[in-house]
Structure 1
Amino acid sequence: MTSLKNIKFYATQPHSCSYLSGKDATTLFMDPEKPLSQALYSRLADIGFRRSGHHIYRPHCSGCKACIPARIPVSEFSLSRSQKRNWQKNQDIDITEHTPEFSHEVYGLYERYIRSQHKDGDMFPPSVEQFTGFLVDSPDYCCFYQLRINGQLIAVAVTDRLKDSLSAIYTFYDPDHGKRSLGRYCILWQIMKARQLGLKYLHLGYWVKGCRKMDYKIDYKPMELLINNHWSRLI
């Protein structure tokens, strides 16, 4: 097991919380000078850290435990009725794996998605620099899964492959295909992909108690939540 003893971590000053209105947040970052191997990141993911570009972070808020790391044990996952309908609806989609890199096609989709879905978020307005730093500047165990219909790019699922899991970093999609619920489909597809690869989990980032935008994550069951440094099953 990769040791964490000699790694430095730094806490930010309190800043406005991205998830809960009126709350301040503090974030713990791993030393950016430390090389991020797949083994190290796998160990950090197991204790609740996430990746954004080359930055590894975890919420570190005093007096607040609302952000809870969530993962799906993929071998035990079963589709609900609505998930079965979503899965069948999207069987005409072609999915291919690509190295993270900038292209006008992929960035154009990202820009449309942010402008349509996240006008009130801290990622608005989108820019090439933001997109590159957030998603393109990724380690070599990251990939862009591109979803297409008749050759048209409709979604990208940015995914890390770790030692025994996949980690869903970010998904963006064409807002004109809203009826397909592509965000939900991408999670289902990543669950099935992890199972196909013989991996144990799909990491979904944080379920944020009290944030309606994050409620969709607990629709995927069984779900495991990291509470008091122990993964606990949510049935």
Structure 2
Amino acid sequence: MTEQAPAEETFISHLVELRDRLVKALIGVALVCAGLFLWPGPADIYDFIARPMIESLPPGSKMIATGVISPFLVPMKVTLVLAIILALPWVFYQMWAFIAPGLYAHEKRLVLPLVLSSSALFMAGVAFCYFLVFGRVFKFIGEFAPTSIAVTPDIENYLDFVMSMCLAFGATFEVPVVVVILVRMGIVSVAKLKEIRPYAIVGAFAIAAIVTPPDAVSMLALAIPMCLLFEVGILLAPLFVRATQAPEEPELKT
């Protein structure tokens, strides 16, 4: 029993450290959320999120709320989601700080850039979706609406659509990180990735067709960046492999 005590103490200390990091991450999200509540406020944040849809509607048109508490609850949800996205660098830093003590120096050179690039790429995907995709998609869909139909989207349905699209774009913008990790772990080589490039392109269009609305504009808006980011991952993977190579580790085939 005495021999197991140090191991048990180490396990408990890791749990305590994990708890502290989770608490710090939640505090960071809460502080960002509180700041957004103070300025610009949930109502203005939702107006900003809804702007691409409002601009695609006929002049004077507005969105509707079919639920009793929807005008209150939906802006709150939007504010919380935005706070989580803005706090991603802090959340990822807490993850990094938790695992860093157990890493070698060459591994730290890999993990920290990946943590930073993951948060940056996710936010870039969300921004790309909002600023470049939404306006075109809503305008494209609105052009097909019959004149006998009054287009008055429900705010809850709109929020669900926006969140799913932003999540899809944010996740797919992580393609370079996935490629770098696969190559660094030796699961696949850069030469193999170049060989399967045609299949990756088909896969990108298949994923885009599944996660986006059934229109060509949004599908192309997601599939083309995925293909380009796949190529970026192929270009960066050898650089990461060389930068994070352990002194005694044989060189990985790229």
The normalised TM-score by structure 2 is 0.20
Determine which structure has more spread, i.e. the larger CA radius of gyration: 2
Higher helix share: 2
Higher strand share: 1
The normalised TM-score by structure 1 is 0.21
